[in-house]
Amino acid sequence: MNRILIIVLLFLLHTSLHAQFISGKVLGKSEKGEQDNIAMGNVYWMGTTTGVVTDLDGNFKIPLIDSLPAKLIFSSVGFNPDTLLISSPPAQEITILLKSMISLTEIEVEAKQSTTMNKIFTPINQEVISSKELLKAACCNLSESFSTNASVDVAFTDAVSGAKKIQMLGLDGIYTQVLSENMPLLRGLSAAYGLSYIPGTWVENILVTKGTGSVVNGYESISGQINLEFLKPQEQKHRFFINLYGNFNGRAEANIHVAKKLNPNWSTMLFTHGSSNFMKQDMNKDGFLDMPLTQQYNVFNRWDFHNRKNFEAQFGVRGLYETRQGGQTNFNYASDYGKTNVYGIGIITKQLEYFSKTGFMFPSKPMRSIGIQTSGKIQQQDMYFGKRKYTGEQKNFYANMIYADVIQTTNHKYKLGASYLLDDYSESFNDSAFARTESVPGVFAEYTYTHPDNFSLVAGIRADHHNMYGLFYTPRLHLRYNVTKTTTLRLSGGRGFRTSNVFIENQSVFASSRRVIVQEKFRPEIAWNYGISFNQQFKLFGNEAFVNLDLFRTDFENQIIVDLDQHTNQVVFYNLKGSSYSHSLQVDIGFEPLEEFAVKLAYKWYDVKTTYNYELLDKSYVPRHRVMLNMAYATYREIWRFDFTTNWFGQSRLPSTVMNPEEYQLSKRSKEYFLLQAQITKKFRKFEVYLGAENILNYTQSNPILSSSDPNSAYFDASMIYAPLEGRIIYFGMRMDIK
Amino acid sequence: MKTKILFSFITLLIMFNANAQETTSEIKIKTSATCDMCKETIEKYVAFEKGVKKITVDVDTRMATVVYNPKKTSPEKIRLAISKSGYDADNIPADKKAYEKLDACCKKGQVCTDKK
């Protein structure tokens, strides 16, 4: 135990106490430097069973022990414990000052604070999805976990690979930056579909930020940031965790975690995941599998080190292997691969990645810290869509150094830092090869001003030098103003920059006869995002309730356009010519009509338009209106839990098919539909079981594949998907902790 | 169809709520809980006992207040459950095996650091 004790004040008081007691007072110094009495703090003799608890004013009185000298320990939640060596019975009262605990995450992560600060005090528009919320949809990986959340939409991609994408503010998931504990996670080849590589049970909580987010994490976020906090070995109460899942459509999944504290400094955790979709199903009898056959193996091992003084380190390694096989039901890889008689699709993903994080604190300057993050990845993805073949490989290295400190008081905080990003891509599509290396050194600065009463501001800027596109700047600003104690107003604006990987990000288009035309050299995608949001908290039915309203605009300076409208038998990629924007409006209401019965209702309006071939059109597949209703009820101690979610999707524009013969034409707009899901969970002392259903109404898109009878036809297209292809899914499973 | 499902869900909720309204008894039991961690351990264990509607342990007075359905359980069974969670319950001493498994700080004469 270190001596972070700042002062021990000794008052010379002639007490009437007899010498066999030591009495005194325990004070705590908060982060802001304010002193307060510590109530319910612990005072005990080291190595003995003698101890007392301080009263509301921080006073204590503890019997002396015989074996002096002995160590007297003072501790309280949220404060660094301290020790006093008592060699002879003191005649005075002792006053001890404990200092607020400072952890690496607290300093490094502005965002993390909001988990406790509950939206009112953060300048950035954020929403926390806790692991409890994640349990509302038991299946399976993160791309599906968002089905009970209003800010992130889950989109369906194509009829054969079964992959799901997310969307924020009506924009594709590639414009959302996904972070793992504040380090960029899903980039490059995994930007589009990477969330399906993350099992839901591994995640402790998710922080969703609308808009561009912080410059500390890089320049890539445009529509939002999703930060994943994985389970931490230090915090695990149980050694083993087991989750098993199965559904009647032939999907089985297992997640097993093992956590171990090796000694007070070191702890480790092993996460394993295996899942498989092993049953061939073709409910709509179009000759194609509704969902591909899949296998995924996923292993993650992380290590934490704390010296409990001024140094923390974390590192981890993750490996992933996944195969997907879709297409016609009678496709057999061994005999049909590369031939035209039977249409098959295969996707094989292999990935190995590591990360490390180290943090140094300065005992004399509690708000000062240095953090260094590094990560690296090798990812290989091989795909075939009928006769089309794609192989891609990405090698990545990333390093980020953050120096954080305050200017005099914590009202003025700042972070300075430098980062380096290296990406090496080599891709081939049919007979063409593409390779590029991106090397981007950058520096950044971010200043946070907090007025103790009602205002805060985060202003950040970064300058990066891209080896292909030169120097560029990324400014970002977030403001928060509390109009009243329960009314919060936020403003944000900022710029984002990313380079795209058109093949992998639009892989679903390959499940068609469309000719792939790359019209020109791509420039980076650049966009500005502005947002305003309003949050009001109030009491309803005697419980906390809120209403939240936000409005965002994203304006693209350049975007890689995926044009399916020019020709029904082509997909054309080119740089934006004209305007491309997204307006989104979201209204959320949450209240609790009964104790433990929570209702969330959200309405979303999206106006997303892009210039396709000199014509400004609605972005295809993005419904203009959506409604979500989520109800959750739990009995005492959550012994029973009931969750019910319904999503309503309005009409969206479908890519033009007017040039096709009539039998291969789609309507101009999609149909509106409902998706309902429900889940019941029963907790027992040692485990819990759940039973649920997705897509209860059994709604599927009729005729999802054009020319499904002849995949060699020029009109074949399995990519035009706006609704589920899999009908009702009944699932069940269990979770268990073992000490 | 949609409204039907919605209604059946709400009906289910009301049923569960109505269930909680049936005749209940209340009992106070003296325990050996010394801190919030002990409180949590007892509450979590006893809540799963058949017939127990609610249990609240007051750390200062060490009193557990249990609301239960007298048709399904009895004060004796509740005391036994507290004992099985590792704590004394009135005159019934803590179950030895469960007591051994408690965190060191939750044992008698100890002070918890209340770390959760």
Q: Which residues contact A585 (CB under 8 A, 6 or more apart)?
A: A549, A550, A551, A604, A605, A606
Give the model confidence (pLDDT) of A439-481 as tens digits: 999 999 999 998 888 899 999 999 999 999 999 999 999 999 9
Q: Do B48 and A52 touch (CB under 8 A)?
A: no
| Contact of A390 with A510, CB cutoff 8 Å | yes
Cβ atoms within 10 Å, residue A311: 14
Question: Could you please report the per-residue DSSP string of A545-566?
Answer: EEEEEEEEEEEEEE-EEEE-SS
3-state DSSP of A1-68: CCCCCCCEEEECCCCCCCCCEEEEEEEEECCCCCEEECCCCEEEECCCCCEEECCCCCEEEEECCCCC
Q: Do A40 and B48 touch (CB under 8 A)?
A: no
Give the model confidence (pLDDT) of B12-42 as tens digits: 666 655 555 567 888 999 888 888 888 888 8
Q: Do A631 and B9 touch (CB under 8 A)?
A: yes
Closest CA of chain A from B103, distance in Å: 11
Domain that holds residue B96: 23-106
Looking at residue A110, what is its pLDDT? Answer: 28
Q: Do B5 and A635 touch (CB under 8 A)?
A: no
Instruction: Report the number of distinct structural domains present in chain B.
Output: 1
Query: CA-CA distances (angstroms) from residue A187 to A129, A179, A379, A510, A654?
Result: 22, 9, 11, 21, 28
A263-267, A307-311, A342-346: least confidently modelled range: A307-311
Domain residue limits, chain A: 8-99, 104-229, 230-738
Q: Do B111 and A594 touch (CB under 8 A)?
A: no
Bond into B106 cis (ω within 30): no
Which CATH number applies to A104-229: 3.40.50.150, 2.170.130.10, 3.30.70.520, 1.10.490.20? 2.170.130.10
Q: Which amino acid is at A240?
A: F
Looking at residue A616, what is its pLDDT? Answer: 95
Pairing of β A570-575 and β A515-518:
parallel
| Contact of A44 with A73, CB cutoff 8 Å | yes
| Choice between B22 and A593, residue whose per-residue pLDDT is larger | A593
Extract the tokens encoding A35. Answer: 């002193």
| Choice between B9 and A726, residue whose per-residue pLDDT is larger | A726
Helices (H), A664-733: none
Give the model confidence (pLDDT) of B40-62 as tens digits: 888 888 999 888 988 999 888 88
Looking at residue A95, what is its pLDDT? Answer: 77
The verdict on residue B31 lying in a domain is yes
Looking at residue A453, what is its pLDDT? Answer: 82
Distance CA A339, CA A549 (A): 53
The verdict on residue B1 lying in a domain is no
Task: Name which of B50, B113, B115 to mutate to probe chain A: the one with the most chain A Cβ atoms within 10 A of its Cβ.
Answer: B113
DSSP A161: T
Closest CA of chain B from A201, distance in Å: 20
Extract the tokens encoding A721. Answer: 């998907």
- Using the predicted structure, report yes or no on whether residue B72 has a pLDDT greater than 80: yes
Closest CA of chain A from B14, distance in Å: 10
Q: Which amino acid is at A90?
A: P
CA-derived radius of gyration, chain B: 17
Q: Which of A283-297, A333-347, A545-559, A704-718 has the highest mean pLDDT?
A: A545-559
Extract the tokens encoding A304. Answer: 């934490």
Bond into A69 cis (ω within 30): yes
User: Given pLDDT bands bounded at 50, 70 and 90, which one contains residue B5?
Assistant: low
Task: Name which of B1, B36, B111 to mutate to probe chain A: the one with the most chain A Cβ atoms within 10 A of its Cβ.
Answer: B111
Looking at residue A57, what is its pLDDT? Answer: 79
Looking at residue A366, what is its pLDDT? Answer: 76
Distance CA A227, CA A201 (A): 15
Kindly tell me the burial class for residue A78, based on how many C-beta atoms sit within 10 Å of its own C-beta (0-12, 13-18, 19 or more).
exposed
Q: Do A637 and B112 touch (CB under 8 A)?
A: no
Secondary structure of residue A111 in the 3-state scheme: helix
B77 touches chain A (CB under 8 A): no
| Contact of A61 with A21, CB cutoff 8 Å | yes
Q: Do B109 and A646 touch (CB under 8 A)?
A: no
- Using the predicted structure, report yes or no on whether residue A109 has a pLDDT greater than 50: no
Extract the tokens encoding B59. Answer: 């750390």
- Using the predicted structure, report yes or no on whether residue A122 has a pLDDT greater than 80: no
Give the model confidence (pLDDT) of A184-242 as tens digits: 998 889 887 888 899 989 998 888 889 988 999 999 999 999 999 999 998 887 889 99
Of A40, A75, A685, the CB nearest to B48: A685
User: Given pLDDT bands bounded at 50, 70 and 90, which one contains residue B109?
Assistant: low
Q: Do A637 and B113 touch (CB under 8 A)?
A: no
Cβ atoms within 10 Å, residue A578: 14
Closest CA of chain B from A198, distance in Å: 27
Q: Do B45 and A646 touch (CB under 8 A)?
A: no
Chain A CA closest to residue B50:
A684
Closest CA of chain B from A590, distance in Å: 17
With tokens 């009647």, the residue in question is A248
Closest CA of chain A from B90, distance in Å: 23
| Terminal-residue alpha carbon distance, chain B | 45
Looking at residue A101, what is its pLDDT? Answer: 59
Pairing of β A203-210 and β A183-184:
unpaired
Mean pLDDT of A489-504: 93
Looking at residue A535, what is its pLDDT? Answer: 92
With tokens 């996460």, the residue in question is A271
Chain A CA closest to residue B101:
A739
Question: Chains A, B: CB contacts under 8 A, how many?
Answer: 64
Extract the tokens encoding A188. Answer: 């490059």
| Contact of B109 with A49, CB cutoff 8 Å | yes
Cβ atoms within 10 Å, residue B96: 10
| Contact of A95 with A9, CB cutoff 8 Å | yes
Helices (H), A64-190: 104-108, 114-117, 131-134, 142-145
Percentage of chain A exceeding pLDDT 90 = 52
Residue (of A345, A336, A354) closest to A382 by Cα position: A345
The verdict on residue B9 lying in a domain is no
Secondary structure of residue A688 in the 3-state scheme: strand
Question: How many residues are there in chain A?
Answer: 739
Looking at residue A8, what is its pLDDT? Answer: 31
Percentage of chain A exceeding pLDDT 70 = 91
Looking at residue A737, what is its pLDDT? Answer: 87
A201-205, A662-666, B98-102: least confidently modelled range: B98-102
Summary mean pLDDT of chain A: 86
Give the CATH number, domain containing residue B86.
3.30.70.100
| Beta strand spans in A408-507 (E) | 409-429, 432-451, 455-466, 470-482, 487-498
Looking at this predicted complex, what is its ipTM? 0.77
Which residues partner with A300 through β-bridges?
Answer: A271, A318
Chain B CA closest to residue A648:
B2
Helices (H) and strands (E) in chain B, counts: 4, 3
B14 touches chain A (CB under 8 A): no
Closest CA of chain B from A642, distance in Å: 8
Task: Name which of A38, A44, A101, A136 to mutate to probe chain B: the one with the most chain B Cβ atoms within 10 A of its Cβ.
Answer: A44
User: Given pLDDT bands bounded at 50, 70 and 90, which one contains residue A148?
Assistant: confident
Looking at residue A645, what is its pLDDT? Answer: 93
Chain B partners within 8 Å of A81 (Cβ):
113
Looking at residue B18, what is its pLDDT? Answer: 53
B50 touches chain A (CB under 8 A): no
Of A77, A644, A684, the CB nearest to B48: A684
Give the model confidence (pLDDT) of A65-86 as tens digits: 777 777 788 877 777 777 777 7
Look at the domain A8-99 and name its fold. Answer: Immunoglobulin-like (2.60.40)
CATH code linked to domain A230-738: 2.40.170.20
Closest CA of chain A from B91, distance in Å: 24
Of A42, A678, A697, the CB nearest to B2: A697
